[in-house]
Amino acid sequence: MPTPTVENYLKSIYHLQEENERVKTQELASDLDVSRSSVTNMLQSLGEDELVDYEPYKGAKLTENGVTSALQVIRHHRLIEIFLVKTLDFDWDEVHEEAERLEHAVSDKVAERIDEYLGYPKFDPHGDPIPTAEGDVYQPDAHPLHDIEATQHVHIERVLDQDPKVLQHFEEIGLTPNTTLEVTDVSPIDGQMSIVRDDDEEMSVSRELASKLLVTEIE
């Protein structure tokens, strides 16, 4: 069974691979806040355990076994988040750090019971997909809000930032998963977006904030 440190590495590589096929040592060191030498040593070890395909100066990518292990801990993490919100009345900006602490201690059996108890949820409180026990992950065809043009209607699927202050701000202005809105104008100078929520509330959102929201277009 992988140690918590190994699980953190695999999870981090999995997330970083969403941007690039191979993850550079410096990227991983920055994400985990550890030294590059520590990352190199761990990647060599993970390579020997056939959890990553590691090539010096080229980076690393997860093997099939590595992906399976990464999805297992991600599943635990996201199930814990939705459990804390749904049953213990945690706010969505509180649960990430709690899940970071608990994800390594939860067994697959407990995760299955949580999943069943909650009715097999597909997404955590931030809209992140919850992998199934078989390792399947539902990924809607979503795009960052800042890529959307004026006059289009969209549905917010996911918030990409786990910073509590960012989540609190989105909560305050009503831009949370499952909200629908219309983009009414986009500034050609700085990308500032004018939007109208489904309750007719008008507001402006910066390009930076819009980049943190994944949306699907409504025909």
Q: φ, ψ for residue 23 (rounded to 5)?
A: -100, 125
Query: What's the distance, CA 40 to chain centroid?
Result: 25
pLDDT above 70: percentage of residues in the chain: 100
The β-bridge partners of 155 are 180, 216
Q: Can you state the percent helix, strand and coil of the chain, rounding each to 5? A: 45, 20, 40
Q: What is the pLDDT of residues 39-66, one digit of tens each?
A: 999 999 999 999 999 999 899 999 999 9
Q: Inter-axis angle of helices 108-117 and 64-88, to 10 degrees?
A: 50
The predicted-structure confidence for 119-151, as pLDDT tens digits, reads as follows 999 999 999 999 999 999 998 889 999 999 999
**Structure confidence by residue, pLDDT tens digits, 18-45:** 888 899 999 999 999 999 999 999 999 9
Q: Are 93 and 169 in contact (CB under 8 A)?
A: no
- The mean pLDDT value of the chain amounts to 95
Domain chopping of the chain, boundaries: 4-62, 143-218
Q: Which CATH architecture has domain 143-218?
A: Roll (2.30)
Topology (CATH level 3) of domain 4-62 = Arc Repressor Mutant, subunit A (1.10.10)
